[in-house]
Chains A and B, each alone.
Chain A
Amino acid sequence: MIEAQHLTKRYGRTVAVDEVSFAVKPGRVTGFLGPNGAGKSTTMRMILGLDAPSSGSILVNGRPYHELDDPLRWVGALLDAKAIVGGRSAANHLKWLADSNGLDRRRVSEVLDIAGLSDVAGQRVGTFSLGMSQRLGIAAALLGDPETVILDEPVNGLDPDGILWIRELMKSLAAQGRTVFLSSHLMSEMAQTADHLLVIGRGRIIADTSTEEFINRSSASSVRVRAVQQTELADALTRRDGQVERSADGALLVTGLDCLAIGGIASAHDITLFELSARAATLEEAFFDLTRDETDYRAGELTDATQGA
């Protein structure tokens, strides 16, 4: 469980993170989504006590990170897989980490095994590819068998097998009741891995909702409908706050109402439908829809627009 309350980080006059409040809950994979410079990495560093908040608080299991005894037993994190001294072997890198928190050294070979690095355990990490370094970083994050796992761009540099492995691993960790928090700029990856999304832009949380809800609520998600009494239906839907557009072939494209609602409205007005199909937006579409006017948007409005999860 990670909880941020009015968390703010300023660098001089620049506000990197602006009074954000959120909770990352256990038992699900929470994706942290946002364009570069939105405040994702700064937020992650503040969770880990690496950067000090300018104001507000961020707690892990109800405590500030630096108050956790043996923090690796609580939180496992991967920030930058290449941020590692290259002269040590993979096993020795994990050994010092284990020693620092009094972890059993047997755990080192276990996590090397989980990460598929047993064969290169004795190899200098300086010789590792980015993908191997990512695997080592994940092994390090899992070392303390932590309740919370935080990964910044974990699929970076991984091959398709590696990506599939990470995805399954994240899901299994969440299924074990752990808190899994990962950032990625790969939205298709997020769509397949994250159950819940935290969308950040310009230092503010602009959406905190389930992935499904996020996609469905997007104006890029629409329902295509055709009826015998087309004009009557359009009027009825508009009265119920649906946005109705007419497509080139005469069908209505409805946003803001789902199939169930549209079917119900049609039935109440004795309108005969002969086509009703949902067109779900992709996460990309939903994301761009939300951040289209990145320079203009006001966080409050957009949060309202996506609430209700």
Chain B
Amino acid sequence: MSATTYPTAPARTVRAATVRKTLKAEWTKLRTLPSTWRTAIAAVVVAVGWSVAVVAIQLSEWHAMSAQQRGVFDPTSTSLSGVMLAAVILGALGVRAVTGEYSTGMIRSTFTAIPARRLVLAAKAATVAAFVFPITLVCEAAGFALGQHLLASKHLQVALGDPGVLRAMLFGALAVSLVAVIGVGVAGIVRHTAGATTTLVLLVVGGLTLGQLLPAGWRQYVPGIAAQAAVTVHRSTGLLAPTAAIGVLAAYAAIALGAASIRVAHRDA
């Protein structure tokens, strides 16, 4: 491939009307793919199912838990456990929004219609994030409602209005949106569905296990662990504060998208 720079002058300002049209086009693309909706349904089913399962397991072991374990039990984050799986499933939407076009060659139609390539990438990230956010909220609301219903049997339940609960749910949705943006960025760099999806899964879920090998101080910056920290109410050691966790994920998203936009703009399509 050529090392020639694609002749989009970085200084050239993209007009607001172009931004609006690009966002509209990317939204039309996302919503008109049946697989988008199948993925959303799968995310809700899997995430809610997982949340309920985790709550049920914790409840069944409650009698065997030490006072210390009971003390750090977080009814909110436990009923939002499925958020991690939602992140993987919905994050893949971000990957496919990019690799689907590179693998078929349709990216050339996209860049012919919208020559501002960085804008295209940013619009993909924005539309996928905006789509993923409410879907994750649905996952969380259902998981929370069912989870708290089960926890009520041992009077462990919390209510939506309790301190930190609403923030945990909003941050959870924000974390998944940011993972989807990371997916867009990784896909812009890797360009193959399998490679990009694997990378994303390693970052989110793989990071949970591999992260254990890292020194304690570093572990909290692993994307998957940061995503988990975002949904906690009771702070436990080794986890970032929720706001800091969102900041870390936003930094990952910015780096991935930034690297992808350099690569997209500097290569022949």
Give the B-binding residues of A (Cβ under 8 A): 9-11, 45, 48-54, 64-66, 68-72, 75, 77, 79-80, 82-89, 92, 95-97, 99-102, 140
Contact = CB atoms under 8 A, between A and B. Distances in A.
B104 A84 contact: yes
B108 A100 contact: no
B210 to A, nearest CB: 33
Given A52-B4, A52-B6, A85-B100, A101 B21 contact: yes
A11 B269 CA distance: 14
22 contacts: A10-B2, A45-B268, A48-B108, A49-B112, A50-B108, A50-B111, A50-B268, A51-B269, A52-B6, A69-B15, A71-B113, A71-B115, A79-B108, A84-B104, A85-B33, A85-B101, A95-B32, A96-B25, A96-B29, A99-B21, A99-B28, A140-B109
* Interface SS of chain A: loop
A53 B6 CA distance: 9
B106 interface: yes
Contacts of B115: 49, 65-66, 68, 71
Contacts of B116: 66
Interface pairs A-B: 10 shortest CB-CB? A83-B105, A100-B25, A92-B32, A66-B115, A96-B28, A100-B113, A51-B268, A99-B25, A99-B24, A52-B4
A89 B100 CA distance: 15
A54 B21 CA distance: 31
A69 B113 CA distance: 10
Most chain A CB inside 10 Å of its own CB: which residue of B1, B28, B101: B28
Given A49-B6, A70-B21, A100-B25, 13 more contacts: A11-B1, A45-B269, A49-B112, A51-B268, A54-B2, A64-B7, A69-B15, A77-B112, A80-B105, A84-B109, A96-B26, A96-B32, A100-B110
A247 to B, nearest CB: 52
A34 to B, nearest CB: 20
A226 to B, nearest CB: 57
B106 to A, nearest CB: 5
A188 to B, nearest CB: 28
B212 interface: no
Nearest to B266: A52
B17 A102 contact: yes
A246 to B, nearest CB: 54
A11 B22 contact: no
Contacts of B104: 82-86
A54 B3 CA distance: 9
Nearest to B110: A100
Given A11-B2, A50-B268, A102-B17, A97 B106 contact: no
Contact of A52 (B2, B21, B24): B2
Contacts of B29: 85, 88, 96
Nearest to A126: B104
Contacts of A86: 104
Contacts of A82: 104-105
B108 A83 contact: yes
Interface string B42-78: 0000000000000000000000000000000000000
B25 A97 contact: yes
B5 interface: yes
A68 B105 CA distance: 22
Nearest to A57: B7
Most chain B CB inside 10 Å of its own CB: which residue of A10, A82, A88: A88
B5 A88 contact: no
A229 to B, nearest CB: 63
A107 B34 CA distance: 24
Contacts of B32: 88-89, 92, 95-96
B8 interface: yes
Nearest to B116: A66
A138 B100 CA distance: 22
A70 B115 CA distance: 9
A128 B257 CA distance: 34
Contacts of B22: 100
A144 B175 CA distance: 39
Contacts of B17: 102
B108 A80 contact: yes
Most chain B CB inside 10 Å of its own CB: which residue of A10, A45, A84, A85: A85
B113 A72 contact: yes
A68 B113 CA distance: 10
Nearest to B112: A48
A72 B100 CA distance: 22
Given A50-B268, A87-B33, A96-B28, A66 B7 contact: yes
A80 B105 CA distance: 8
